[in-house]
Amino acid sequence: MPTTIKSVFNLETSTNTPLGLDTTNYHEALVANCLDGLPPFEESSYNPSGEPAIKYIQPPNPGWKFGESVESTELGRKWMEGAKFEDDWEHFDAEKEENRKIYTLMISGIQPRPIAFVSSVSATGEENIAPFSFFQALSPSPPLIMISALNAPRVKDTTANIQATKEFTVNIISLPWIVQANAASIDAPVHISEWEVAGLTKEPSTHVRAPRVKESAFSIECTLFDKYDIVHPDTGVSTSTITFGLIKCIHVRKDVLNARGLPDPAKLQSVSRLGDISYGLTTEAFRLPRPSWASDGETIEKILEERQKAE
């Protein structure tokens, strides 16, 4: 049967539902929806042995002085044109809006988010893997990370497994295997291995039972440090669970390290979560030093004084 897929690619109404579809493979049709009208992926641009995956550029407004407003550049003036009038804003009151609206705003506005690809094992030994973008580094000492998983419409296997066995690994996803990692988000029944569905390889961990992902260039072995159930104040229902992971060991591939022995973003090629079903890839970067009062305080005070006199 020929596959006919109506063009539905539209960034404004990005959808997880294929339209005008005549195919036996639903997922392939969804992927096809995301291709339409876009240039193909240029593998050579991201080949670490070829061009660097990230181009370093100068920061915007390199001549900026302390206290200078955003409107001091053309870029800044144009940006602020969207914030001139009260009518330029939409306001979403979380108590009045549908929960779904606030959720979709959150995941589209709080971005890019790092993604934890979490491997865990159930009490009976079933191995599980799934991505989570409600993920952050939390504390250097003790070294902690967190992931947050929704408990509705079901408690995620990842959450249940970590509660049961108190161990897991977090694997950073790189561009060459993002489609495999994405596939592992499938809500497969417990007896189906998401590892096999995704086509990824288990590598034994050294401190925990959950394997790490061999394809990941940066993997973290964790034990359960603590958990926090988010209980909705109106209903008393636990809607999400935050898992705090204590880092036991970090595995990093030598070929992604820079001269200082740290992951080089151009080599790691990590993928982030943008809104809805969009992923982000960092292709340009710039560096900005952190100001310090000890070095710059005097200059800043002078600038502010002169500014006050001029007003």
Ligand X SMILES: Cc1cc2nc3c(=O)[nH]c(=O)nc-3n(C[C@H](O)[C@H](O)[C@H](O)COP(=O)(O)O)c2cc1C
Instruction: Check binding of 128 to ligand X (CB under 6 A).
Output: yes
Instruction: Check binding of 169 to ligand X (CB under 6 A).
Output: no
Instruction: Check binding of 212 to ligand X (CB under 6 A).
Output: no
Tell me which residue has tokens 């070294």.
Answer: 143
Q: Which is nearer to ligand X, 73 or 148 (CB)?
A: 148
Q: Which is nearer to ligand X, 107 or 246 (CB)?
A: 107
Q: Which is nearer to ligand X, 54 or 146 (CB)?
A: 146
Q: Which is nearer to ligand X, 182 or 216 (CB)?
A: 182
Q: Of 61, 72, 122, 185, which one interacts with ligand X (CB under 6 A)?
A: 185
**Least Cβ distance, residue 216 to ligand X (angstroms):** 14
**Token pair for 86:** 């009260």
Query: What distance in Å separates the CA atoms of residue 222 and residue 31, rounded to the nearest whole number?
Result: 33
Helix residue ranges per DSSP H, the chain = 26-33, 74-80, 99-109, 157-165, 178-183, 194-198, 265-268, 293-310
Contacts of 232 (CB under 8 A, 6+ apart): 238, 239
**Least Cβ distance, residue 279 to ligand X (angstroms):** 7
Instruction: Check binding of 241 to ligand X (CB under 6 A).
Output: no
**Least Cβ distance, residue 150 to ligand X (angstroms):** 4
Query: What distance in Å separates the CA atoms of residue 28 and residue 16, rounded to the nearest whole number?
Result: 12
Contact positions with ligand X (CB under 6 A) in 129-148: 130-134, 148
Strands (E), 160-282: 167-171, 202-203, 212-213, 218-231, 238-252, 271-273, 279-281
Instruction: Check binding of 156 to ligand X (CB under 6 A).
Output: yes
**Interacting residues toward ligand X by CB under 6 A:** 115, 128, 130-134, 148-150, 156-158, 182, 185, 187, 273
